[in-house]
Structures are given as C-alpha cells and as structure tokens.
Amino acid sequence: MAQIYLYLNSLLFFGIAVRSTMAPRSTATGLGFLTLSDRGRAEYLVVYGGLQLGLAILFFLLARNPAYFRLGLLVSAGFYAPILVYRLSASFRHGPAPTAVLGTIALEAGLLAAAIWLYYPFLRQE
C-alpha cells in the first residue's frame, strides 16, 4: 500500500510539473496569480516545473524499494504538513481562496492523512 501511495505522489508531482511547464499562464491564474512578469514566469517555471519534477523523481525512487517506504512516508508527511499549515493560514489571512487552491488543500490534507495512516504499521515494528 505504501508503494502505491508513493507512486501516486510521483505521478501527481509529475502531472503538476508537466502542466505548469506547458501552460504556465493558465495554471498560475488558477492558483490566484493575477499576472507574471517575465522574471516571475521564470521563477514560476522553476518552482512549479523544476521543483515539482524533482519531487516526482524523489517519490518514484522511494517507491521502487521496500527499504525506502518508511522514509518515503516520513518525507511525505514532513512535506505536506507545513505546506498545509501555510496554505490554510494564507487562505484565512488573504481572503477566499480560488477553487484550484481549495482543491489543492483538500488533496494535500488527504495525502498527509494517508501518509500518517500508512506509517502507523512501521511504528509497531519498532
């Protein structure tokens, strides 16, 4: 089950990377960016293209070997928990979030919960 979860993370990050690279204007607008200067567009591509692709590769590699499942779940929880805190606090502080952001919040909350749930059996092995 942990392997499927890690491959799912890899697939999701790969999809975000590809979509953000191929359609940066529409994905940026969907997340609430009103405009992007040329420099802003370059930075958007680095973060939403390059970083997301790097995370896809990381989760793919972690999913390939059962010895890394536990680490993969910890990385996932350590990744999603602070991002979720920041997204929620930013949404409350800066007004209503766009639909794409609300969907992202729900997805990240579900992925965090799944990582914690899947990690629980590893705790019993200690």
Q: Each residue of 85-102: pLDDT tens digit?
A: 998 998 889 877 777 778
Domain extent at residue 37: 2-125
Spatial contact of 60 and 3, defined as CB atoms under 8 Å apart: no
Total domains in the fold of the chain: 1
The per-residue pLDDT of the chain, averaged, comes to 90
Contacts of 55 (CB under 8 A, 6+ apart): 9, 13, 79
> Please, which pLDDT band fits residue 126 given cuts at 50, 70 and 90?
low
> Please, which pLDDT band fits residue 19 given cuts at 50, 70 and 90?
very high
Phi and psi based region of residue 95 (left: phi greater than 0; alpha: psi -120 to 50; beta: remaining): left
- % the chain with pLDDT above 70: 99
Give the integer Cα–Cα distance in Å for 106 and 90.
15
> What pTM value is reported for the model?
0.87
